Amino acid sequence: MHRRGFLVAGLAAALSGSRALAQMKMDGMPDMDMGDHAGHDMGAMAQAPAALPEGETLRQLPLLANEAGRPGLFKARLTAEAAKARFVEDRDTPILAYNGTSPGPLIEAYEGDRVEITFANRIAGEQSTIHWHGMPVPADQDGNPMDPVAAGADRVYAFELPEGSAGSYWYHPHPHGRTAEQVYRGLAGAFVVKAKADPVPAAYGDTVLMFTDLRLAADGTMPDNTMIDMMNGRVGDHVLVNGQKNPKLALAAGAKRRLRLYNATNARFLRLAFANATMTVIGSDGGLLEAPVAADEILLSPAERIELVVAFDQPGTATLTTLDYDRGWMGPGRPADAGLTLLTVDVSDTPAEAMPPLPERLRPIAPLGGPTVNRRLVFTETMAMNPTGMEMGFLINGKAFDMGRVDIVARAGETELWEIVNQADMDHPFHLHGTQFQVVERERGGHVAKPPYLAWKDTVNVARGETVRLLTRQERPGARMYHCHILEHEQLGMMGLVDVRA
């Protein structure tokens, strides 16, 4: 039997009763509750999700205050702990938060700054770390699963932000086996490194839009991950922007805004378009492009970021909406991807003050060339029924992650060509720690395509059946992770370790 067919048949049988479901067992998920809640969770998927208020004024993310008191240093404290959020009236939702808020506070620092952040892990009974996603920080400061911070403990993360590193990064936990859950419970925040000389007009503002994905049970709690979540990655019922559902923004006609879009969901692919406003892409994960590029739609896979300038020239209502995207959903419960309104902008008739134009050139990007090493990473999914249940594997080069194993040995300062081959049945967004890479081409069904523009990336979607070739160079020695950024897949083993040597 074809492997995909096998899976779906197995699932159909399993889903016919919660008892059968409860008997299913998956390796690598010791913490997953497959007993009492499993049937309830499956039932909840068929129900209409709890309604959330919409149309509140878009809130700015709270800024993390710099306590350094002198230029060139950013010093602060981030405490991860249990908190309560009010998503629906009269009901508190227990969440995890950094400094009491989810998304966590926005960190803004400048190129050239030194950063010293004391992380206090106050999550009861769970280790955690803070990983600085996309940032060029030393390996021992990067919150690897090998460097856990125990419950109740503090540690200082310290690093310098090199010149030229301005970009839209983020931070989130990365403890072994608990990343997916700590993130969907609320731990993620944006880290914007600002350029000393920024070519984008200040009149456009600078707004982070952080997308998260909330699933809320009728009693206001966040249900645990189900089997379907582990397989596809957890997709919620509500896509939130800065913690709000479809918030509202009021602008004058002719306004231009600089927006940094973050996909901080565990597993939701966001194919986005603006109705009644025009989008220009100006930046990717690792900062500005060489030149602005007009776009009708964008695809933001989990963990990717994009910087846009959006022009609101038509009075009336402009909306940011989702389009359908088929990323190879397995089993029942494929979420409705299309037609969600994520943000509503009321554009008044009163004309905005004249906006300065966007420059034609933003910054140079030197192409990484001349790889000295070629590597091939093959993504596969395996599943097998055995007498105790279904076992699934999310593998890279046939192996599940092992903290004690070095998968690749690389040299600092050398350019490498990595070929990421997706032989699995669903898309997997590939992410590499410690550096930014350049995609050079994508191949699918014998067709090879160059990317539309040169960009610094740390996460790239590799569609099922696709091969993505990228150039990468690690500047510093140490252990770096690479993995699928569907966090449940990372947790189930789709991760490896590259040891960069001096």
Mark the segment that binds Cu ion (CB under 5 A) among 132-140, 290-298, 305-313, 405-413: 132-140
CB nearer Cu ion, residue 223 or residue 493: 493
Partner whose binding site includes residue 484, from ligand C2O, Cu ion, none (CB under 5 to 8 Å by kind): Cu ion
CB nearer Cu ion, residue 155 or residue 428: 428
Quick check: 481 binds ligand C2O (CB under 6 A)? yes
Footprint of ligand C2O on 373-392 (CB under 6 A): none
Which residue is closest to ligand C2O by CB?
133
Tokens of 97: 């938060």
Partner whose binding site includes residue 185, from Cu ion, ligand C2O, none (CB under 5 to 8 Å by kind): none
Quick check: 133 binds Cu ion (CB under 5 A)? yes
CA distance 152 to 444: 48
CB nearer Cu ion, residue 346 or residue 499: 499
In DSSP terms, 74 is beta-bridged to: 115
| Segments in 135-188 forming alpha helices (H) | 179-184
Quick check: 305 binds ligand C2O (CB under 6 A)? no
H or E stretch at 479: strand 478-484
Quick one: the chain helix, strand, coil %, rounded to 5?
10, 45, 45
Q: Are 442 and 467 in contact (CB under 8 A)?
A: yes
CA distance 182 to 76: 21
Could you write out the three-class secondary structure of 280-344? EEEEECCEEEEEEEEECCEEECCCCEEEEEEEECCCEEEEEEEECCCCCCCCCCCCCCCCCEEEE
Look up residue 237 and give its DSSP letter: S
Minimum CB distance to ligand C2O, residue 483 (Å) = 6
Q: Are 230 and 26 in contact (CB under 8 A)?
A: yes
Quick check: 272 binds ligand C2O (CB under 6 A)? no
Quick check: 473 binds ligand C2O (CB under 6 A)? no
Q: Are 259 and 77 in contact (CB under 8 A)?
A: no
CB nearer ligand C2O, residue 134 or residue 247: 134
Look up residue 141 and give its DSSP letter: G
Footprint of Cu ion on 472-491 (CB under 5 A): 484, 486, 489
Binding mask 393-412 for ligand C2O (x = CB under 6 A): --------------------
Among 172, 256, 257, 473, binds ligand C2O (CB under 6 A): 172
Quick check: 133 binds ligand C2O (CB under 6 A)? yes
Among 282, 303, 420, 455, binds ligand C2O (CB under 6 A): 303
Could you list the residues that contact ligand C2O (CB under 6 A)? 131, 133, 172, 174, 303, 431, 433, 481, 483, 485
Could you list the residues that contact Cu ion (CB under 5 A)? 133, 428, 433, 484, 486, 489
